[in-house]
Structure 1
Amino acid sequence: MRSMKSSAGPAAVARQWGAGYFRDHQVRSFETFGRQITLGRHAIAQLVADLFRGRFHIQEFVRQCAFMTSASAAPTVLIAIPIGVILSVQVGSLVVQVGATSFMGAASGLGIIKQGAPLVTSLMIAGAVGSAICADLGSRTVREEIDAMKVMGVDPLARLVAPRLLAAMLVSVLLCGFVVFVGFITGYMFNVYVQGGTAGSFVSTFAAFATPADLVAAVVKSLIFGLLTAIIACDTGLNTRGGPGGVADAVNSAVVNSALLLFATNVILTQVFNTLFPHQVV
């Protein structure tokens, strides 16, 4: 009897702990989601108001653009080149099987513009830019700099969040265009010099099938990716607790949450573009 009671006790405690943890985790998840929506709404409104009133902190915006670019440019190149090669290899093997080698440029180039560039941009924005924003604001929070700004009457939303929001959106768009350029050049060189393709055929088929709407769709995706990443990173950084260890946990949380949300957003946007523009954008 004693052994049965002792074995039932820890099991009941474990079940109770698991149920409590699940409830608390769900509650915290909804609270975080609502807090991020509120922050995003206020930050966008503050950004628009500052731009129209001429109160936007342009110096902070320029510093953040330079910092984000320096943190993400080199990794973007190192990822864009393999992406262009991989697409060329995979698409090349497929078009050879179906006997459509003349359409290699269209298939490879459109693959980079429609999906390769937005996905690479989402990874770089979530991993490099989002982590940098969260680490910066998180360290300011644990050092009580944010509280000091509020005491002095300085709005952190206008001084810190709004410039980072616009900077992340701009850098995300630039990274997307950079990935499109590097990926296309890489695919072109790999096809011509490694796979034995024809340069004229590669460029002509790409120009025949690609439209400006394809690039617009990729830019819109990257713009939304930058906006979402900045909101998540700023919210996580401003709510950091627990000293240096809390900053590390906040950065990890911001990167993971941003990556998951951006990939899900990419799927949704792709379906929306397919529905609205079936013959132009993906």
Structure 2
Amino acid sequence: MTTEPAGRESTAVDEITDWTKGYLRRHPVASLRTVGGQVVLGGAAIRYLCTDVATGRFPVGEFVRQASFMVKTSYVPTVAVALPISATLSIQFGLLAGQVGATSLAGAASGLAVIRQSAPLVTAMLLAAAVGSAVCSDLGARTIREEIDAMEVMGVSALRRLVVPRLAACVLVAMGLTGLSCFIGFLAGYLFNVYVQNGTPGSFLATFSSFATTGDLYLAMVKSAVFGTIVAVVACEKGLSARGGPGGVANAVNAAVVASIILLMLVDVGFTEMYTILFPRTTL
């Protein structure tokens, strides 16, 4: 009676150990294969996008349908998330500025935070969650129903017909929503600073216009374009590689959202560091 539980425990430990060793052997190779597939897919999609636009073969109808769907799916969550985040940043920067005796700089601090970081990153994360999941599930359903294989057999490129318009639409929508998020963030910060924290409207606007330059807006737009490309490429690659029926599509959607958010965070850190190095602020 006392040896059987010990034997079962030893077997369970052995199974867990074997699975862990196998996972550690398989995971790096699988990760490199996935990243390589996404890089190849993204490069081919960008190349086809440029050539199709130049030659007039770009599927404008599909692009308009996808852009309209993405806007309807993501603009309400973007506004709903941008408002509280901007208000929170305004409150925190206002308290910090009050503690160091620089309340007049609250507008500059909150404005830089919204334009440089909050607006593009919030927009990209919502695109990954709302739009990326929808794109991945759509392409995944087509893949498991063998529609993609049927298109390729008929000589229709799924990459040019399905991926390229979604990529262009995601980039355009990301840039537009980033601009909307910048405006909403500035308006929320202004209202909270003036009407909640008893700030001076003129001081808020003066410091904001002095510190937030056009370069910051250009950085936000470039960020949003890159973030939109990442969301579209990851979602399309996961959808086209879905296997295993409806359960495989669900796993692909989950993997697409998680991978997109992780990549967005890493790329955002790189962008911020490179911008700080290349365009340092020499004076306040």
What is the aligned partner in structure 1 of residue 179 from structure 2? 177
Deviation at 1:145, TM superposition (A): 1.1
Letter in 2 for 1:242: G
Query: Which of residues 201, 205, 210 in structure 2 aligns to 1:208?
Result: 210
Alpha-carbon distance in 2 for matches of 1:126, 1:69 = 13
Query: Which of residues 278, 281, 284 in structure 2 aligns to 1:276?
Result: 278
Query: Which of residues 117, 134, 139 in structure 1 aligns to 2:141?
Result: 139
Q: Map of 1:66-215 to 2, 5 A cutoff? A: 66-215=68-217
Task: Return structure 1 stretches of 4+ with deviation > 4 angstroms.
Answer: 2-10
What is the aligned partner in structure 2 of residue 246 from structure 1? 248
- Tell me whether 176-185 or 145-154 shows the greater mean CA deviation: 145-154
Identical pairs, percent: 53
What is the aligned partner in structure 2 of residue 35 from structure 1? 37
What is the aligned partner in structure 1 of residue 232 from structure 2? 230
Alpha carbons of structure 1 residues 194 and 135: separation in structure 2 relative to 1, 3 Å? same
Letter in 1 for 2:269: V
Alpha-carbon distance in 1 for matches of 2:163, 2:118 = 29
Deviation at 1:6, TM superposition (A): 6.3
Q: Deviations over 1:46-102 (max 9, x none)?
A: 111101111000110011100001110000011000011101110010111111111
- Tell me whether 256-265 or 100-109 shows the greater mean CA deviation: 100-109
What is the aligned partner in structure 2 of residue 65 from structure 1? 67
Alpha carbons of structure 1 residues 191 and 124: separation in structure 2 relative to 1, 3 Å? same
Letter in 1 for 2:75: A
Letter in 1 for 2:213: T
Deviation at 1:195, TM superposition (A): 1.1
Alpha-carbon distance in 2 for matches of 1:130, 1:187 = 29
Alpha carbons of structure 1 residues 7 and 89: separation in structure 2 relative to 1, 3 Å? closer
Give the count of matched residue pairs: 280
Q: Deviations over 1:126-164 (max 9, x none)?
A: 111211110111111111111111111110011000001
Deviation at 1:277, TM superposition (A): 0.8
Letter in 1 for 2:129: G
Mapped contact 1:57–1:159 kept (Cα < 8 A): yes
Cα root mean square deviation, aligned? 1.6
Q: Deviations over 1:182-238 (max 9, x none)?
A: 010011111111111111111111111111000001111111000011111000000
Partner of 2:226, secondary structure, is helix
Alpha-carbon distance in 1 for matches of 2:168, 2:73 = 17
Partner of 2:281, secondary structure, is coil
Deviation at 1:11, TM superposition (A): 3.1
- Tell me whether 13-22 or 229-238 shows the greater mean CA deviation: 13-22
- Provide TM-score, normalisation by structure 1: 0.95
Alpha carbons of structure 1 residues 57 and 5: separation in structure 2 relative to 1, 3 Å? same
Alpha carbons of structure 1 residues 51 and 13: separation in structure 2 relative to 1, 3 Å? same
- Provide TM-score, normalisation by structure 2: 0.94
Mapped contact 1:125–1:225 kept (Cα < 8 A): no
Alpha carbons of structure 1 residues 10 and 273: separation in structure 2 relative to 1, 3 Å? same
Alpha-carbon distance in 1 for matches of 2:264, 2:230 = 8
Deviation at 1:17, TM superposition (A): 2.2
Query: Which of residues 21, 24, 35 in structure 2 aligns to 1:22?
Result: 24
Mapped contact 1:122–1:263 kept (Cα < 8 A): no
